[in-house]
Structure 1
Amino acid sequence: MSATQSDATTGPNENAPGRDLARQALAAARAKAEARGVEPGVRKRTAGQFGQNPRRRRWSGPGSDARDPQPLGRLMSRLATDRGWSQRLADGQVFGQWAKLVGEEVAEHAQPVSLKDGELTVRASSTAWATQLRLLQGQLLTKIAAAVGHGVVKRMRIHGPTAPSWRKGLRHVSGRGPRDTYG
């Protein structure tokens, strides 16, 4: 056994000059690594460590990093996805951006009422507008899907204005209403 090999197993010799001392320390570290079964010179890195001590704060490098400042929109969409709010936010966009989705003229005469299980209920201001919306239904669904997302609104149910109720007050006359004015 040579002097270099005996020094590698026992540790560095403090009486050696600086360069020899560094070589001996490196040889001792490699020998210990081989004894543990670790291949010398190869580090195992995980994606989250970036080759740094996680307790020590360092600046990120020139590339993009998870620690870099993120745009607010990206953070909010990640938060909504993590918390399961994505579907409710998409539903809210239909109501909040109704005029932009369907156009100003249609929005003046039609209002969304409810959105359940992909079915959007819309109330029109008149029966003529209800008929017009039924004819435009395919185009409206395409516009809504392009702006909000596919699958949010699958079908539309369009209602006209409600008829007046003849049932008023606690005491009323039963029947179909005043027949002399409505034939």
Structure 2
Amino acid sequence: MSEQEIDPAKALLNRMRRLAEERGETRLDPARLARVQQRQAARKTGAQPAKTESDPNARDPRAIGDVIGRLSKTRGWGTQVAVGSVLGRWSQIVGEEIAAHCKPESFEDTVVVVRCDSTSWATQLRLLSHELLKRFDAELGPGIVTVIRVLGPNAPSWRHGRRSVAGRGPRDTYG
């Protein structure tokens, strides 16, 4: 716009706003002005002002779990929090007896990898995997864990060094 096309009423309004700011008067938007007036009216009558969920000045304390839950939902961290829940709350979700013998190793793309301390517990966990998936759905929500990959105990490696011979193993090592 050139100077000839400036609306005189708009120019006067802008000038008055600048003068008000220089005097220290601030401009309030209608929603904030309504909240200020509501608080002033409540002070005169001695009543508590009505606090709403959207009121940023609501000073009531909130539980940290609610605050973190709301934050994780707004940021889209639901899956990452579920991953932490699976690994952190393993014994609560699967039970103390299973947790004593089977530990989660990793959790990627809805697949939990679990290492068991014996082959019998690995077999037992494979049989219980359907029931455990139901528990995960109930605790964390559907679709967070879809597969439980069960691994047996770690066996010692008999290969030492860069070169090795394909053979039948240590045979008479354990007497």
Report the counterpart of residue 132 of structure 2 in structure 1.
140
Q: How does 1:38-117 map to 2 (within 5 A)?
A: 49=32, 51-52=34-35, 61-62=49-50, 64-65=52-53, 66=55, 67-68=57-58, 69=60, 70-117=62-109
Deviation at 1:64, TM superposition (A): 3.4
Report the counterpart of residue 176 of structure 1 in structure 2.
167
CA distance in 2, matches of 1:125, 1:177: 25
Deviation at 1:135, TM superposition (A): 0.6
Q: How does 1:15-54 map to 2 (within 5 A)?
A: 49=32, 51-52=34-35
Deviation at 1:83, TM superposition (A): 2.6
Gaps of 5+ in 2: 1-29, 43-47
Deviation at 1:155, TM superposition (A): 1.2
CA distance in 2, matches of 1:180, 1:124: 25
Deviation at 1:142, TM superposition (A): 1.1
| Alignment-mate amino acid for residue 117 of structure 2 | S
| Alignment-mate amino acid for residue 144 of structure 1 | F
| Alignment-mate amino acid for residue 50 of structure 2 | P
Q: Closer, same or farther in 2 for the Cα pair 1:130/1:57, shift >3 Å?
A: same
CA distance in 2, matches of 1:157, 1:84: 27
- Alignment RMSD, CA only? 2.9
Runs of 4+ deviating beyond 4 Å: 56-60
Contact 2:39–2:49 at 8 Å: present in 1 too?
no
TM-score (norm 1): 0.62
**Secondary structure at the residue paired with 1:157?**
strand
Percentage identity across paired residues of the two chains: 36
| Alignment-mate amino acid for residue 121 of structure 1 | V
Contact 1:124–1:160 at 8 Å: present in 2 too?
yes
Contact 1:166–1:177 at 8 Å: present in 2 too?
no
CA distance in 1, matches of 2:170, 2:64: 63
CA distance in 1, matches of 2:82, 2:33: 37
Deviation at 1:116, TM superposition (A): 0.9
Higher helix share: 2
Deviation at 1:177, TM superposition (A): 4.4
Deviation at 1:62, TM superposition (A): 3.4
- Greater Rg, structure 1 or structure 2? 1
CA distance in 2, matches of 1:163, 1:91: 28
Q: Select 2:120's aligned residue among 117, 122, 128.
A: 128
